[in-house]
Amino acid sequence: MAVTSGVLSPGVNFSDRLVPSLEEMTRTVSHLKGLGYSIVLTSGSFDLIHLGHVKYLARAKEQGDILVVGVDSDAKIRRRKGEDRPMVPENERLELLAHQRPVDLIYLKDEGDPTWGLIKAVEPDVLVLTADHSYSPQQLTELREVVGEIEVIERQASVTTSERIRQMYMNLGDKLGPKLAQVLPGLIDETLRRG
């Protein structure tokens, strides 16, 4: 089916892909389902987007016609991963995802959203999870009441964003350590003389 306008058109931009509310997402997805499209949903932080993210999104898109991506807000990520995360602010992460070919619709998941709010708003034909998601058997049973299928996809990169950040900090420490050891005593002396 040829589509020349709307979310599936080749010229669609960021503002067309970003859905501002769960209510709007429900309306949009219901319309697309009414047109016969199957809906796939996945979520994540997508901080420092790398090849593993891109391959994962491509694999998720293979599961249906329309890929909806939930993106964790800065506040959600900070609560889960610490104050120094995310490395890339939410507005930039959202726009980066909008430029990924497999992604059709994007929603920013905020701390105020209800549990599984996006899943319940979309009621996807396929919910795509990474292998490291941990849901209890009861939660999986509850999810299956809202989604058609649950597809688990292995991570598509050997190194995660968190691991890359750790490597970056370690390398920075190795490089700066000797230089700081040379400069720091003089800076401390100078500061004490002024004070």
Q: What six digits make up the tokens of 5?
A: 């306008």
Domain membership flag for residue 41? yes
138, with CB counted inside 10 A (0-12, 13-18, 19+), is: exposed
Band of the pLDDT at 109, cuts 50, 70, 90? very high
Per-residue pLDDT tens for 130-145? 887 778 889 888 989 9
* Of 25 and 158, more confident: 25
> For position 187, what pLDDT does the model report?
73
Give the number of domains in the chain: 2
Domain membership flag for residue 8? no
> For position 12, what pLDDT does the model report?
65
> For position 134, what pLDDT does the model report?
75
* Low-confidence winner among 68-82, 141-155, 174-188 (lowest mean pLDDT): 174-188
Q: What six digits make up the tokens of 20?
A: 């501002």
Average pLDDT value for the chain: 85
Expressed as residue numbers, the domain containing 173 is: 159-195
* Of 77 and 15, more confident: 77
Torsion over CA: 147, 153, 157, 161 (sign): positive
> For position 5, what pLDDT does the model report?
43
Torsion over CA: 176, 178, 181, 187 (sign): negative
Whether 47 and 104 map to the same domain: the answer is: yes
> For position 4, what pLDDT does the model report?
39
Whether 134 and 175 map to the same domain: the answer is: no
* Of 9 and 143, more confident: 143
Per-residue pLDDT tens for 64-107? 999 999 999 999 999 988 888 898 999 999 999 998 889 999 99
Whether 131 and 165 map to the same domain: the answer is: no
Q: How far is CA 111 from CA 41, 88, 143, 177, in A?
A: 19, 18, 20, 38
> For position 130, what pLDDT does the model report?
87
Whether 92 and 188 map to the same domain: the answer is: no
Whether 167 and 110 map to the same domain: the answer is: no
Candidates 71, 63, 65, 70; CA nearest to 89 is 71
Whether 182 and 89 map to the same domain: the answer is: no
Question: Which segments of 2-150 does DSSP mark as H helices, in order?
Answer: 14-17, 22-34, 51-61, 74-81, 90-98, 117-122, 137-144
* Low-confidence winner among 50-59, 71-80, 173-182 (lowest mean pLDDT): 173-182
Instruction: Indicate whether 128 pLDDT > 70.
Output: yes
Domain membership flag for residue 111? yes
